[in-house]
Amino acid sequence: MNTITYIVGDSLYVNITNRCTNRCEFCIRNLGDGAYGSNSLWLDSEPTEKEIIESILSHDLSKYKELVYCGYGEPMMRVKELVASAKAVKEVCDIKIRINTNGHGNFIHKSDITPMLDGCIDVVSISLNSSTEEGYAEVCHPVFSGALEQIKEFAGLVKEHVPTVIFSVVETTVPDEDIEGCKAIANELGIPLRIRELVK
């Protein structure tokens, strides 16, 4: 049975795919089948748009601080279903909606998808995790070259369509000097940087 939605603290998380363009050293799915006490987040099949909406709306959304698209895969792999379900949610309540992404969305879809997020997504959190292409490849193992440049380009574009954009790095996987480099990239693009702990 698919686990599409699961609770993390005071937020409701949405798991819509297991596909990803990275194989990050620190990825939470390397540690087990679920996260934060959830059932298994490995999907038997990707949920349909209808199933995603039904799973989200089966919850009392007034209980949650935000709705977060983040599961055992890169949510922007399914940007059409993501946007459609986010719009359906916005029609019935004003919950804040966030996407946690690796920033590869435009590479995945071979076009600028950031305008699709206009009006339905409130926050985009982009995993940066290195200030160099070599460092990013070593830590995140992307399936394509030039991933860091793609992330920077995506970040600059998505700022035009989403009210809040942030970068994040996992502190224990990034050397101190590289964190300084990440800060420089964030400052250059005018995007805040959040340094987060590795989830175990």
**Domains of the chain listed by start with CATH number:** 5-196 (3.20.20.70)
Check pLDDT > 60 for residue 152.
yes
Q: Which of the four pLDDT bands, split at 50, 70 and 90, describes residue 198?
A: low
Long-range contacts of 146-154 (CB under 8 A, 24+ apart): 147/21, 147/22, 147/104, 147/107, 150/103, 150/104, 150/106, 150/107, 151/102, 151/103, 151/104, 151/126, 152/185, 152/189, 153/106, 154/103, 154/104, 154/105, 154/106, 154/114, 154/126
**pLDDT tens digits for range 7-65:** 999 999 999 999 999 999 888 887 777 777 778 899 999 999 999 999 999 999 999 99
Whole-model pTM: value is 0.94
